[in-house]
Amino acid sequence: MVEINRRNPKQARAKATVDAILEAAFQVLDADGYANFTTSRIAKRAGVSIGTLYQYFDDRDAILMEMGQRYGNALREKITQMLLDEPEISTLRTIIRAVMQGVEGSPETQLVLSDTIFRTGGGSEVSRQHFTFMDSLSQREEFQFALGKEASFILTHTVVYLLRATVVEPDLDLDPQVLEDELVHLMESYIANLAGRAQA
């Protein structure tokens, strides 16, 4: 199979084209859903030819992967900014609130982008999410103890997967504020238990 050299968007015009394609892709995904997320729809919404789109992206999965990575970066930036803007709120609550709110788009859109990070980002991207979470938590005063990889895994994945379930099960009609409180209590209880065991 002949490998095609994809254009590297170094020039400002090329970057603008890529940004337009990704913005159009987000609009298509958010408005029409994943089932209608096609390269032809994206190209039309972006105002570019399908050939131009394929100069930068091999297929819709490649577009989704870039969108997922940008979403992950934006979420980490949001958490950092919220920590700076609202220092009176606990780090744990800030992280949970940021993940619950997401960056932009419907819950379904955020679910697709989150799934894309795990499906196509590979171990390095998942690990990057994991260590960003842990770096934020490590600033907590009560969190000054050694943490095993299994406990770290539970801390970083519990909230994400519970929130994922709220999107998959909308009929539960959960109250967002109550859910936030319960997730904070859950994680704080687990951290307190870890700290107690570390001192035993």
Confidence of residue 144 (pLDDT cuts 50, 70, 90): low
For residue range 75-91, what is the model confidence (pLDDT) as tens digits? 778 877 877 787 777 77
One-letter amino acid for residue 73 of the chain: N
- Nearest alpha-carbon partner for 95 in 156, 7, 148, 4: 156
Longest dimension (CA), the chain: 65
pLDDT, mean of residues 31-50: 95
Which one is predicted more confidently, 150 or 5? 150
Task: Provide, rounded to the nearest whole percent, the portion of the chain with pLDDT above 90.
Answer: 32
Mean pLDDT for the chain?
81
d(CA 195, CA 41): 52
- CB burial of residue 11 (10 Å; 0-12, 13-18, 19+): exposed
Confidence of residue 123 (pLDDT cuts 50, 70, 90): very low
> Model-level pTM?
0.70
pLDDT, mean of residues 180-192: 90
